[in-house]
Homo-oligomer: A and B are copies of this chain.
């Protein structure tokens, strides 16, 4: 087949498409019930509809798409991961955590609503992720569903994302070295990005060897993603980011940029993306979107 794919258009179209699909999925999942729970559902909608890059759902859809998985199934699975991502941002933004005022260019949930509603909406989104994945209407086969549940639960709990967030709190008072910062980021951000790739592979019923290569891809783009986050935190524009920046330096945290310097950090991110793309070597044009995502991760400005 002649190569007619333009990577920029491919990625741009894919980002627009997945954002619409994930918004529609949350809209369907979260009808305001018209009773005393309305405020909870409105808060859940505020935090999930119309915001974020949707990188995790895009990864699920990109991997699942390589193996001919039904698009609507991949979107629902991606939305489950996005529900976890959204709850973690809500709780992270709380006054007792990062105390952030802006998220996705609008007031954080606890400011738009109130703190108690923010805690509860986060908890309800957490449960929603597992409601989505356990639904027999998603996939008839219970083995696939339980594998998805297990992958997401392990990636988000104390051995994954929540563990990374605890390390991030400790980082405010302890000077971590580079391996510890890498480990922190692998848990805090990498685990969920890795789960997205893994869950796409589970949907595609990919055998173990193929999954190992995709895990390598996921690990490298996850680390590159975080290095770029650190660079944007140092050099980026707050208006474009839609959130407060320069917080790590203010909190006295070690980051890839503070430990390596900006130039070496940038070189490291590019090296990791090259390595990630290398893992896709056995795949042809069907992996072009994953390659474009890897490049997007180092080239993005927010």
A107 adjacent to chain B (CB < 8 Å): no
Q: Which of A26-68 contact B (CB under 8 A)?
A: 30, 35-37, 39-41, 44
A241 adjacent to chain B (CB < 8 Å): no
CA–CA, A35 to B179, complex, Å?
A: 13
A157 adjacent to chain B (CB < 8 Å): yes
Chain A residues proximal to chain B, CB less than 8 Å: 30, 35-37, 39-41, 44, 87-88, 91, 94, 96-97, 114-117, 119-120, 122-124, 126-128, 130-131, 133-136, 142-143, 145-147, 149-150, 152-154, 156-158, 160, 162-163, 165-167, 169-171, 174, 176, 180, 184
CA–CA, A127 to B130, complex, Å?
A: 10
Instruction: Quote the shortest CB–CB distance from A204 to chain B (angstroms).
Output: 18
Q: Do A126 and B124 have beta carbons less than 8 Å apart?
A: no
CA–CA, A143 to B134, complex, Å?
A: 10
Q: Closest B residue to A130 by CB, please name it.
A: B153
CB-CB < 8 A to A143: which residues of B? 142
Q: Do B150 and A128 have beta carbons less than 8 Å apart?
A: no
Q: Do A91 and B117 have beta carbons less than 8 Å apart?
A: no
Q: Closest B residue to A92 by CB, please name it.
A: B119
Interchain residue pairs with CB less than 8 A apart (25): A36-B170, A37-B167, A39-B166, A39-B170, A40-B162, A40-B163, A116-B169, A120-B165, A120-B166, A120-B169, A126-B126, A127-B157, A127-B160, A128-B153, A128-B157, A130-B130, A130-B149, A130-B153, A134-B149, A134-B150, A142-B142, A142-B143, A142-B145, A145-B146, A146-B146
